[in-house]
Structures are given as C-alpha cells and as structure tokens.
Amino acid sequence: MKFFGGLGPFFQEGARRFPVPKKEVLPIKRLFLHYLRPYAGRMSLGLIIKATGTLAELALPYILSAILDEVIPGAVAGGQGNRQGIYAILLWGGLMVLCAVVAFAFNVIANRMASRVARDTARYIRHDLFDSTLRLSCAQADQFTVPSLESRLTSDTYNVHHLVGMMQRLGVRAPILLVGGILITLALDPVLTLVMLCALPLIGLTVFLVSHRGVSLYRQAQRSGDAMVRVVREDAQGIRVIKALSRKDYEQQRYEKVNRTLVHDEFRASVTMAISNPLINLVLNLGLVAVLAVGAYRVHLGLCLPGKIIAFIQYFTLLSNALLSITRIFMMFTKGSTSMNRINEVVNAAAAHGRTPAGNHLPVPAGQAGGKSYLTFDHVNFSYQGKTDNLKDVSFTLRRGQTLGIIGATGSGKTTLLSLLLRFYRLPEGAGAIRIDGKDIRDMDAAELRSRFGIAMQNDFLYAGTVEENIDFGRKLSHEQVERAARMAQAHDFIMSLSGGYAHRLTSRGTNLSGGQKQRLLIARALAGDPEVILLDDASSALDYRTDAALRQALREESQTAAEAGRAVTTVVVAQRVSSIKHADLILVLDGGAVIGQGRHEALLENCPVYREIAQSQMGGAILD
C-alpha cells in the first residue's frame, strides 16, 4: 500500500508548470481545466486504478451467481468424493476473494491520489485568488467588498476542493457501476433488467430539476454568508469600542439578524437538494420490489435460476449506490460550480484591470504649468460613484524637493487626492491629468509609479511580527536603514525601551502599542525605503505637539541632506493641524472637494478666511509669530 501511495509525487508533474495568465480573462471552463492540466498524468493513473477496482467490484455478484447456480450444484451432483467439484468451489471462492481485495486496495489507492490532486489544485487556486485579490483596483475591491473576498478565499475554495476530489472518487466509479451493472444484468436476464431500468428516467428527471433549482439557492446562501462575514469582521475590529460603549447586546442582535438570514437561505438550499435522496430511494425501492416480484414469478416458471435473483439484488444495490453517488456529484457540482464562478469573477476582474490600456498622453514640456514642475494636478475632477464630484477642478504644481500641505474638513477630499496620486483609482479620460516629471501617471507602470512613494496613513496596519519586520515590510532593508528611519520618525527611543528593542514582537494590528507609538512606526516604514515622495495622510494625529514638531524638524533636515546629495525628497502632508503644515512650500485648503485657497501660510492667513479661522482656533495669538 505504501508503494502505491508513494507514486503520488512521481505523477505530480511539478508545481506551477502552468501559471495563470496574469492579463488574460479566462472563461470558467478554461480556468477550471487550467488548474487540473498539471495533474493530468496523476489523474489518468488514478482513473485507471479506480476503474480497475470498480470492475473488480462489479465481478463479485456475477461470480457469486455462477457459484450458486453452476459450481455448487455440480459439486453436489458429483457426491462426497468429487474432489474436482471441491477444487472448483475453492477456485471460484478464491477468485471472489481476489476481486474483493483488488476492489478494496485499488479504490483506497485511487482515493488517496484523488485527495492529493484536490489538495494541490485548491492550494494553487487559493494562491492565484489571493494574488488576484491583491491586484484588484480599489474600485473593484469596493465593488466586491472585503467580506465577500474573504468568503471566496475560504468557503468557495473549500467547495472547489471537495468538488475536485469527489469528481475523481465518484465521477469514475459511479458511471462504471451504472453502465457495467446494466450490461451484466442484461447478460444475466434481459427481462429483469428492463424492469429495473424503468426507474432510471424518473431518477434522471429528479436529479435535473433539483440541481437546476439548487444553483440559484446556493448563490443566495453564499451572498448571505458574505453578509455574515462582514458583520463578524466589523465586530472583531471594533471589539474595544463595543465593550467601551456596552453595545454587546446590540451587536448580538445585529449578528443574529444576518445569522438567521444565512440559516434560512442554507436551509432552503439544503432542503431542496435533500429532496433528491428520498425520491430516488423511493423509486429504487419500488423498482427492487418489482424485480423481486417478476424474478420470483420467472423462477417459479423455470425461466430463471435463484442465483441470478441474488446477483440481481446485489447489482440493484450497486446501481442504487451509483445513482445516489451521481446525485451527490450533482449536488456538489452545483455548489462547487457556483463557488468557481465567484472565484472566476475575481480572477477575471484582476486580469481585466491589469490589462487596462494606458492612454497615450503627451508629456508637458518643461516651462509650462509652473516651470520645472515635478508633481502637477491639472484640472482634476473625480467621482467615486459617477454622480457627485469628490474632487472638483483641482490644480496645483509642486517642484521637486518641495513640501505640500493639505488641510480641510472631514470629507473635503484630502485622502481622495492621495488615492488618485497613487492610482488606487484610475482617473477617467477628460477629467484632467496628474503628472510626475511631466508624464501622465496613467501612462506609467503601477509598480514603477508606487515605488517612488513612501506612505503612512492614520489607520494603516501593523501585523504580528517584530518591530523591525514591520518597518522593513519585506523590502530586505539593512538594520541601519531601519534604525535611521525610526530615528527620523521619533520612534527609536520608545523602541529601545521595549523588551528586545527592534526584535520586540507586536500583536496583530499592533494592539500592544499606544496610538502614537503605532503612528511613529508607520511613519518609519514610509521613510525607510528612501522614497522620492513621502505621503503622510494625517499620520501624526496621535502625536503630541512636541513629538510632532521634532518629526517635522527631522523631515526638513532629511530633505536638506537629500538635496545636498542630489536626491531631493518631495513631501505631501495631509493634516488637521495648522502647525503640521505651516512651513510647507504650498498649502491647499480643500472644502467639498474644491480648492478654496492655496499658497504659503502667511498668504493664506491674509487671503483665505477658512484657513485663518482654522489657524486662530488652533493657535490663537501664535499665528502672528
């Protein structure tokens, strides 16, 4: 057994010989076959082994019929001294034992090989689905929703895993048992076979109707599952707020609502699919009664032997199991194909996003739009939903090495501006242009574009790992680079106060740090890669004024040092505090997605009432300094 089980790796044919085309939209059938093609050799061998074991299983009732109707009567007729008859009984009995052993061993081996194929196929589907999820645009991710993507990565890949395994285990055995059983029973007694076959059309109609209805019900159940995952995810992230506000009962009710909906939808789908088994059993049992009745009558007339009736009962049992297995296949296929369609939606969406044709935008010659500009927003308009503009005619120019400050009320478009700059959302044609070094960012490779930036957001994430791993973020930076970034971010001192220093392990989402400590680590991460552009999206909101001032001073010194080395660093700071941006070379004041003021701090105090009001409320008399 171990020898045959060890054949699996030999027929694996290597991992990932056929990687999913990253920019090709595949139909569902091609995508499914694409993942199975690397295992064609192992699957073919498994199917041959499975077929051999099934044929051996089919031979058992026929051998039993021959023993009862021919071998035993011949041995009895020869008397007690008929050694030839005894040898014949032992020979046929040994053949029956051999067939039973072959059927058992080959079915076990084939099932193990099928399990390996299902395991590896599901592994690579999960790998490529996760890769596609990461390559989705922000707009596509918003459309799918995070809970739905999580559900596709877990429950849907689980359903496909079961489908691939079941198709190999039962998809070969059941048809062979069904077709082979019918052929053998036709050879034994055509009349009884025709009686038995009368039940098959009713069974086929039942399977078709139930499976057709089950597809839509399973889709609805999976959508309800997405809704429940969303609530669980929200509650897990906000558990501290829930406890602090004593809203456990309210959240329990909210969860119970989506849970009841999921239970209701799953119950409808399960009940609908479960109808098939009782109906098939009813039809099969009625058919068995008819076979026994007709068989007894034919035995009475001398047209059939008792051994054939026994063989017929066994074949009828095998056929019943085969039909039930086919029903299970249809049920699993209904669920698995629905899941594969959901996976295919994500894979094809990512492929379509990856192959989005770039424009053919001409670069703006130096000297236009503000001289030797590095970063330019040229009459940019943008809307998430295509109804109301979230940014309205935004224009500004920033030279290399300068600092841009952005301030405005909540919802004024500050983060949207950064999202467009990073091309998280693609700017439509005719909605203006965003240029870096005179080149439209729509014409730039996304990876090359984003490699220019170091970004820290207010609600960015930290993962379970060491402090150094979180700052490095898989970029393979040296410890000196990590420490230098931490010093600039004013994080080095508190890091060294932790047990283990830079080797101190953080919990998921950095829950064992304070808000200010987390923000300093996120800023250090942004600075560590020596980016051309530093984007700080309200990343110092949890810092005290002294630490914030020290951070701004460190950034100015770094910018000067980089400029002296011929590597100017451009900085974009989104902030709620005027003190965080007052020394910027250009400040944008946003309101309702529009720029209502831009210039330096002193000019805005004179010309922009909104900015002056914010400054007075925050700094009082200090605005005159």
The CATH 1.20.1560.10 domain(s) of the chain lie at 27-208+275-354
Q: What is the mean pLDDT of the chain?
A: 79
For residues 548 and 553, what is the distance between their CA atoms, to the nearest angstrom?
9
Give the SS3 label for residue 303.
coil
**pLDDT at 385 exceeding the cut of 80:** no
How would you class 617 by CB atoms within 10 Å of its CB: exposed for 0-12, middle for 13-18, buried for 19 or more? Answer: exposed
pLDDT in tens, 29-79: 677 778 888 888 888 898 899 889 988 988 888 888 888 777 777 666 655
Residue with tokens 């020979």: 91
Q: Are 237 and 285 in contact (CB under 8 A)?
A: no
Q: Is domain 459-530+533-568 classified as CATH 3.40.50.300?
A: yes
Q: Which helix (H) or strand (E) holds 434?
A: strand 433-436
What is the CB neighbour count within 10 angstroms for residue 284?
Answer: 22
The beta-carbon contacts of 17-24 under 8 Å, at least 24 apart in sequence, are 19/128, 20/128, 20/347, 21/351, 22/135, 22/351, 22/354, 23/351, 23/354, 23/355, 24/351, 24/355
- Confidence (pLDDT) at 105: 92
Could you tell me the two tokens for 476? 């393979």
**pLDDT at 7 exceeding the cut of 70:** no
Q: What share of the chain in percent tops pLDDT 90?
A: 4
For residues 521 and 510, what is the distance between their CA atoms, to the nearest angstrom?
10
pLDDT in tens, 588-619: 999 888 889 899 988 899 888 888 888 888 76
Q: Which helix (H) or strand (E) holds 242?
A: helix 239-244
Count CA within 13 A, CB hemisphere, residue 162.
17
Degrees, nearest 5: CA angle 285-286-288: 60
pLDDT in tens, 567-589: 778 889 888 888 888 888 899 99
- Give the global pTM: 0.67
How would you class 606 by CB atoms within 10 Å of its CB: exposed for 0-12, middle for 13-18, buried for 19 or more? Answer: exposed
Topology (CATH) of 27-208+275-354: ABC transporter transmembrane region fold (1.20.1560)
The CATH 3.40.50.300 domain(s) of the chain lie at 459-530+533-568
pLDDT in tens, 300-319: 777 777 777 788 778 877 87
The CA–CA distances, whole Å, from 437 to 362, 364, 375, 440 equal 12, 9, 7, 9
What is the CB neighbour count within 10 angstroms for residue 324?
Answer: 18
Q: Are 369 and 346 in contact (CB under 8 A)?
A: no
Residue 565: pLDDT band with limits 50, 70, 90: low
